[in-house]
């Protein structure tokens, strides 16, 4: 198992490289291919791969902390690569994939830095977190399935080697999850042009008459609406993304700390860091960051260290997601208030952090669905049966 300190050192080195390119890719809306070359060369895709397959054997807390470091360098790249980390991490922990398939994919990650993402969102369906039957279909074939459909928000699509795609199984009330290698019938429609996270390459994935053998059907779930009192959370997805957005917030906080020391208005004659109002604003940001990290790291450690409680970790994940994402937004806003009007210019990266960090609010579960669910769970635990 690669030591955590070594994992974080590699993440820090990558973040420095990403930060040098982030502003230009954000301004132009271009995909940072060179970042992914660096990622592959560093071995970072091996973070969640078990040691038995030649990987780093990183656990969820390792991944969360590393993703936070990447987020400090470039939110877009950190968010996109988090999709690979969470897809493999959850596949390993859940044990749903056939062992031979997992071994084959991990071999490709080890040999050539193969990258994966689970592409589930659709124009009609929206986020699959709310349940529903995807329009993407899987038609039976004597030796497997024929997949047709369109997915949105396929982050990292320009460089993905595998796509994990949910599709409605024809003739069944079930949804299959298919591991589809990049190849014939896979098209990328370059639709991504966003306010923030502009360099994630989250284009549309178009799947046309793609044959997938039976062995690459890696999971089956019901297409029925989910229980209003339950939530099928993926802690690797939720917590790794929290790490990314806290990384963006931490970067903004550092900008504010430096600006407060460097800014010396002539009327004041000393750095604005001497002002109590600035100290209070920075203190509020420090408070939010430390509280969010405590909640986030505790949740990841609970998943790693207490597998017997994983079936009941849902409320902890809800709290982590809602608190961390909102804290990250508050921190970036606070950093901009420290810098004042200068934060609106391209001389500081704060305006980019402001746009990027807000995307965290829209990952599932949203506040609007998470908080009522947390309330229902608390009421049920207290004996309410309505």
Whether residue 186 sits in one domain with residue 107: no
The mean-pLDDT minimum among 119-133, 233-247, 372-386 falls in: 119-133
Confidence of residue 226 (pLDDT cuts 50, 70, 90): low
Q: What is the DSSP letter of 214?
A: G
Q: Residues with Cβ < 8 Å from 13, sequence gap 6 or more?
A: 42
Whether residue 209 sits in one domain with residue 267: no
Is pLDDT at 60 greater than 70 in this prediction?
A: yes
Confidence of residue 8 (pLDDT cuts 50, 70, 90): very high
Residue 296 lies in a domain: yes
Whether residue 194 sits in one domain with residue 240: no
Per the CB < 8 A criterion, the answer to whether 138 and 169 are in contact is yes
Enter the tokens of residue 257.
């700390």
Give buried/exposed letters for 355-369 (b at 16+ CB in 10 A, else e): bbbbbbbebbbbeee
Whether residue 197 sits in one domain with residue 328: no
Average pLDDT, the chain: 96
Per the CB < 8 A criterion, the answer to whether 22 and 76 are in contact is yes
Residue 228 lies in a domain: no
Domain that holds residue 96: 4-114
Mean pLDDT for 278-284 is 98
Please tell me the total count of domains within the chain: 3
Whether residue 158 sits in one domain with residue 65: no
Residue 39 lies in a domain: yes
Residue carrying the six token digits 């994402």: 325
Confidence of residue 230 (pLDDT cuts 50, 70, 90): low
Whether residue 359 sits in one domain with residue 288: yes
CATH number at residue 189: 2.40.110.10
What element of type H or E holds 316? helix 314-339
pLDDT at 306: 96
Per the CB < 8 A criterion, the answer to whether 114 and 108 are in contact is yes
Residue 277 lies in a domain: yes
Residue 305 lies in a domain: yes
Whether residue 199 sits in one domain with residue 239: no
Sign of CA dihedral 33, 35, 36, 38: positive
Residue 191 lies in a domain: yes
Is pLDDT at 223 greater than 90 in this prediction?
A: no
Mean pLDDT for 62-90 is 98
Whether residue 370 sits in one domain with residue 314: yes
Is pLDDT at 228 greater than 60 in this prediction?
A: no
Q: How far is CA 58 from the centre of its chain?
A: 16
Question: What are the angstrom distances between the C-alpha of 257 and each of 18, 289, 334?
Answer: 21, 14, 11
Whether residue 262 sits in one domain with residue 184: no
pLDDT at 204: 98
Whether residue 239 sits in one domain with residue 335: yes
pLDDT at 126: 66
Confidence of residue 131 (pLDDT cuts 50, 70, 90): low
Mean pLDDT for 236-260 is 98
In angstroms, the CA 159 to CA 328 distance is: 28
Q: Residues with Cβ < 8 Å from 303, sequence gap 6 or more?
A: 60, 93, 235, 239, 310, 313
The residue out of 222, 253, 269 marking a domain boundary is 222
CATH number at residue 321: 1.20.140.10
CATH number at residue 31: 1.10.540.10
Residue carrying the six token digits 């890719």: 25
pLDDT at 227: 61
Per the CB < 8 A criterion, the answer to whether 146 and 210 are in contact is yes
Region label for 181, one of left (φ > 0), alpha (ψ between -120 and 50) or beta (otherwise): beta
pLDDT at 124: 83
Whether residue 101 sits in one domain with residue 29: yes
In angstroms, the CA 216 to CA 248 distance is: 36
Residue 133 lies in a domain: yes
Is pLDDT at 129 greater than 70 in this prediction?
A: no
In angstroms, the CA 112 to CA 45 distance is: 10
Sign of CA dihedral 20, 26, 29, 32: positive
The residue out of 91, 114, 137 marking a domain boundary is 114
Whether residue 82 sits in one domain with residue 10: yes
The residue out of 164, 196, 222 marking a domain boundary is 222
| Predicted model pTM | 0.96
Is pLDDT at 310 greater than 60 in this prediction?
A: yes
Residue 119 lies in a domain: no
Maximum C-alpha span of the chain: 80
Strand 162-169 and strand 186-189: the pairing is unpaired
Is pLDDT at 229 greater than 60 in this prediction?
A: no
Q: What is the pLDDT of residues 333-361, one digit of tens each?
A: 999 999 999 999 999 999 999 999 999 99
pLDDT at 231: 60
Question: What are the angstrom distances between the C-alpha of 372 and each of 150, 177, 265, 314, 319?
Answer: 31, 29, 47, 13, 12
Mean pLDDT for 72-84 is 98
């Amino acid at each position: 198992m690669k030591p955590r300190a070594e994992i974080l050192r590699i993440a820090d080195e990558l973040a420095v490289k990403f930060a040098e390119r982030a502003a230009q890719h954000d301004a132009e809306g271009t995909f940072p291919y060179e970042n992914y070359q660096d990622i592959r060369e560093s071995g970072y895709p091996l973070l969640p791969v078990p040691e038995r397959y030649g990987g780093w054997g990183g656990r969820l807390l390792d991944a969360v902390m590393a993703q936070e470091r990447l987020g400090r360098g470039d939110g877009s790249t950190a968010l996109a690569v988090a999709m690979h980390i969470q897809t493999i991490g959850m596949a390993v922990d859940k044990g749903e994939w056939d062992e031979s398939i997992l071994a084959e994919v991990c071999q490709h990650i080890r040999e050539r830095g193969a990258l994966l993402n689970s592409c589930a969102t659709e124009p009609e369906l929206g986020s699959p977190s709310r349940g529903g039957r995807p329009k993407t279909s899987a038609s039976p074939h004597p030796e497997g399935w024929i997949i047709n459909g369109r997915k949105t928000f396929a982050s990292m699509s320009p460089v993905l080697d595998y796509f994990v795609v949910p599709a409605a199984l024809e003739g069944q009330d079930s949804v299959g999850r298919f591991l589809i290698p990049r190849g014939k019938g896979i098209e990328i429609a370059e639709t991504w042009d966003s306010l923030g996270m502009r360099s994630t390459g989250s284009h549309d994935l178009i799947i046309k008459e793609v044959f997938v053998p039976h062995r690459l059907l890696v999971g089956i779930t019901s297409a029925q609406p989910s229980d209003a009192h339950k939530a099928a959370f993926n802690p690797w997805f939720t917590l790794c993304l929290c790490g990314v957005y806290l990384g963006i917030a931490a970067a903004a906080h550092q900008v504010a700390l430096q600006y407060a020391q460097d800014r010396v208005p002539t009327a004041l004659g000393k750095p604005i860091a001497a002002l109590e109002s600035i100290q209070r604003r920075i203190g509020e940001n420090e408070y939010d960051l430390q509280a969010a990290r405590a909640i986030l790291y505790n949740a990841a450690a609970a998943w790693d260290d207490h597998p017997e409680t994983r079936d009941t970790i849902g409320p902890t994940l809800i709290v982590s997601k809602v608190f961390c994402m909102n804290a990250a937004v508050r921190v970036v806003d606070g950093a901009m208030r420290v810098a004042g009007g200068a934060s609106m210019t391209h001389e500081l990266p704060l305006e980019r952090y402001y746009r990027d960090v807000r995307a965290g609010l829209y990952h599932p579960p949203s506040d609007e669905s998470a908080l009522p669910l947390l309330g229902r769970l608390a009421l049920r635990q207290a004996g309410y049966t309505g």
